[in-house]
Structure 1
Amino acid sequence: MPDSTSPESAADQVDSRARGEHLLHRLAGEFSEETGVIEGRMFNGTGLSLNGKIFAFVSRSGDLVIKTSVADVRVLIETAQAQPMTMGRRTMREWASVYPTPEGDLEPWRSLLRHAWSFARANDR
């Protein structure tokens, strides 16, 4: 396996992120009728926000990262649907990193995006 500084791993990372961003873009259209939802650049990638608050984005590795309750993050991790989201050395308690979907299968990300949007809407103040 190449180390993180090798050209192969950098190219793989770009490809993974591009695939993840493509999947997110396909799903973002489903939120076009929702007031306040914007698709844009977030954390150097593509993401979705509600009234300026990010609720989902694609990580450098191409995973979908969603914001939800601490309890829901725990369930996603315990059921192997996601992994903890870490930024630097810090684990983000309300964020979960969801593996890329098999090619063409949007359903896992679709339901988790809806869930993250619902969480954001319920906490929109």
Structure 2
Amino acid sequence: MAYDEKLAERIRDLIEPGPQVVEKKMFGGLAFLVDGNMAVSAIRDGGLLVRVDPAEAEDLIDGESVSTMTMGGREMRGWLRVTPTALHDESALRAWIARGVTYARSLPPKR
């Protein structure tokens, strides 16, 4: 199954546009990169992959709708999987996008 195209469209509507924001198909999803660093991604199950400061990740995990992303059996520190139910309204999605964009902007640009 491909990524959730409706979620991708919602992200496009909410993410601040600009030349530094690029969409790229990655890991079966549609990622939104800021200055070459992934901020968020619409993923296969209708959820969202969000890159956050690893030091803050544990405080955001709730055990139900937000968990650490696992890839290849390995937990990805600083990468959170947010379930579709946690993205029900625009303010919730906007907050997750803001977290991802803020962290991506704190990293050195990749060109």
Provide the rounded CA distance (Å) in 1 between the counterparts of 2:77 and 2:94: 22
Structure 1 or 2, whichever has the larger Rg, is: 1
Q: CA RMSD in A?
A: 2.4
Give the match's secondary structure for 1:83: strand
Q: Which amino acid counterpart does residue 37 of structure 1 have in structure 2?
A: V
Matched, 1:34 2:28: no
Q: Is the 8 A contact 1:23 1:106 kept in 2?
A: no
Q: CA deviation at 1:44?
A: 2.2
Of all paired residues, the percent bearing the same amino acid is 28
- Structure 2 residue 89 is the aligned partner of structure 1 residue 105: yes
Higher relative contact order (CA 8 A, sep 6+): 2
SS at match of 1:124: coil
Code of the residue aligned with 2:102 in structure 1: it is S
| Aligned pairs, number | 109
Name the structure where helix makes up a greater proportion of residues: 1
TM-score (structure 2 length as normaliser) = 0.80
1:29-71: CA deviations, max 9, x gaps? Answer: 3335334011231212211001222121122222101001123
Deviates more, 1:100-109 or 1:43-52: 100-109
Please give the alpha-carbon distance, in whole angstroms, between the structure 2 residues aligned to 1:102 and 1:111: 11
Provide closer, same or farther for how the CA distance between residues 78 and 45 of structure 1 changes in structure 2, counting only shifts above 3 A.
Answer: closer
- In structure 2, stretches of 5+ residues that fail to align are none
Shift of 1:81: 4.7
| Contact in 2 for aligned 1:84/1:97 (Cα 8 Å) | yes
